[in-house]
Structure 1
Amino acid sequence: MNTQKVPFFVERIPSILVGIRVAIAPLLVLDALDHDTTIWFVVGYIIAILSDIFDGIIARRLGVSTVELRQADSWADIFLFICLAISTWLVYPHVLRDFKTPLFLALAAQLILFTISLIKFKKLPSFHTYTAKIWGLMLLIATVSLFGFDYDKPLWLAIVLCWINSTEEIAMTLLLPEWKCDVLSIFHALNLRRDLPQ
């Protein structure tokens, strides 16, 4: 068995990737301040999403996937999406007006999820479900489509996936007797509920 300790710099890679996402997020807003964006907006967002994909993969491979790291990952995601929303408002306010009702419902679903989790567990959710991953990828497609090609139709699917993910995670939060991170689906939550003391 290989028990060689992972070098300190290597085990910090997942944290560095989370930090890269946090650093990129305000740069998106900075690029959008003049109500237009450059190619670097799309490049930066793609890099941010790639960091989101690989931080968890690398952390699990290195055996350094801690609760603190996964919570930091969730906070970085929230910060990135807030900066993306601000950038969209600066550059494409008409898109937000056109999608105002479904976007409001998606935001309301997320706020309901956060509220239930804070009331029940005193923590924000950090499930990293399959539906969240699919939603994130669809949001990437919608963002590249909008900021790269002025095409907003993929936003519909991103919003629907947000509803699906929020509904699933609300149900998971209500099901689980204690806070857990990295619960991949409601089926995993049901299995955890059976195994955890009630």
Structure 2
Amino acid sequence: MIKLTYLPAILVGFRFAIAPFLLLDALDGAVTNWFLCGYILAIVSDIFDGIIARKLKVSTPQLRQADSWADICLFLCLALSTWLVYPTVILDFKIPLLIAVAAQFLLFSISLIKFRKLPSFHTYTAKAWGLALLVAAIALFGFGYAPTLWGAIVLCWINSLEEIAMTFILPAWTCDVLSIVHALKLRHE
């Protein structure tokens, strides 16, 4: 019998495990119905791993970092799948997407230089970005509709800027800082 306290880690592991299968499904330039089902299940696991961990009081920095790595793995596989299935969409959005990728790399670089760790803030803007990406993925892979990608891109920019500012504000690496307001409060404490 699996202990309930392991459930958040299992959900994080599930996201790591499902991400490559999304990519495998897209290798032939098309996706099956499984693709969206798998992606939606991965996002549901992302939503509930943190909630359950906090409720069970097993939310640790290591678990939150693993959660961040699982997100990176999932979103990289989604991006590569998009390239395989809808390369024209990637090319049509290349400039805003390159700005989003550059903003994320800048955030990661600043955090690595300052804290020697990748950020793991799990901010409200990150949650909004994740939900916008879910809507964009459903619209694109389910209906061939790309304009909703703008919402995800803009929220990525906003999230990156907020987390860059938070990295400069916080004196020490901290996980689960929900917003820049929370970062300012932590700095003053």
Q: Aligned partner of 2:8: which letter? A: P
The correspondence for 2:169, drawn from 175, 178, 191, is: 175
Look up the match of 1:165. Answer: 159
Counterparts of 1:113 and 1:55, CA distance in 2: 24
TM-score (norm 1): 0.94
TM-score (norm 2): 0.99
The correspondence for 1:146, drawn from 140, 153, 162, is: 140
Q: After TM superposition, what 4+ stretches of structure 1 lie above 4 angstroms from structure 2? A: none
Largest Rg, 1 or 2 = 1
Look up the match of 1:60. Answer: 54
Q: Aligned partner of 1:87: which letter? A: S
Look up the match of 2:115. Answer: 121
Q: Which blocks of at least 5 consecutive residues in structure 2 are unaligned? A: none
Q: Give 1:15-164 correspondences, 5 Å limit.
A: 15-164=9-158
Offset at 1:185? 0.1
Look up the match of 1:192. Answer: 186
Q: Which blocks of at least 5 consecutive residues in structure 1 are unaligned? A: 1-6
Q: Aligned partner of 1:134: which letter? A: A
Offset at 1:192? 0.3
Offset at 1:9? 1.3
Counterparts of 2:21 and 2:29, CA distance in 1: 14
Counterparts of 2:47 and 2:2, CA distance in 1: 21
Q: Aligned partner of 1:166: which letter? A: S
